[in-house]
Amino acid sequence: MKSEIIREFQRKGRRSDAMLRDAEIALLPRDYFGYSRQIRCEHTLVFDIVRCSDARIAGEIALRIGDSSEQFYLGHVGYHVDPPFRGRSFAAKACSLCEPLLVGFGMRSAVITTDPDNLPSVKTCLRVGCELECTVNVPLAMSERLQISAVKHRFIWVLNPDAPVRR
């Protein structure tokens, strides 16, 4: 299943075709990275979040597959929505669209980390059904190497193995 997802991601990316979509957004494959020594994850898939109504790029979502001490603080899912597109739940919609891919990689749960003061991201986590596991202090060396904040909320997202693929 993993190799099928990666092949489809690469094929759709070469053709600039959406891999997943709903009525408002589409996820266009942008970058694929195999094993990363920096964050020690097996695969990273980065999608552009594109607004369907005008095909403008609204942000991005990255899926980091694997587990490591770095990913403990980074999480499996990372997203960013550009300011003009905020307040429309695009990050939550992008997460939901990616759920079947995470399941396809054999994951039963995913971690999303946020800065405690990033209320829109906290709301996104709650909107997709995550539960706050804990708040952690990131070791200084890890924070500096990964260029992340010193404190992170860790949210756990229990994935639905029957989540529909929306293409």
Q: Which of 100, 80, 74, 116 is nearest to 21 (CA)?
A: 100
Token pair listed for 64:
């980091």
pLDDT given for residue 71 in this prediction: 92
- pLDDT for the residue numbered 10: 94
Sequence spans of domains, the chain? 2-158
Q: What is the pLDDT of residue 57?
A: 98
pLDDT at residue 41, rounded to an integer: 85
Sequential pLDDT tens for the chain (167 residues): 678 999 999 999 999 999 999 999 999 999 999 878 878 888 999 999 999 999 999 999 999 999 999 999 999 999 999 999 999 999 999 999 999 999 999 999 999 999 999 999 999 999 999 999 999 999 999 999 999 999 999 999 999 988 878 77
- CB-based contact 91:84 (threshold 8 Å): no
How many Å apart are CA 64 and CA 107, to the nearest integer? 11
2-158 CATH, one of 3.40.50.720, 3.40.630.30, 3.60.21.10, 3.40.50.10420 = 3.40.630.30
pTM equals 0.94
User: What pLDDT does residue 142 have?
Assistant: 93
d(CA 43, CA 80): 19
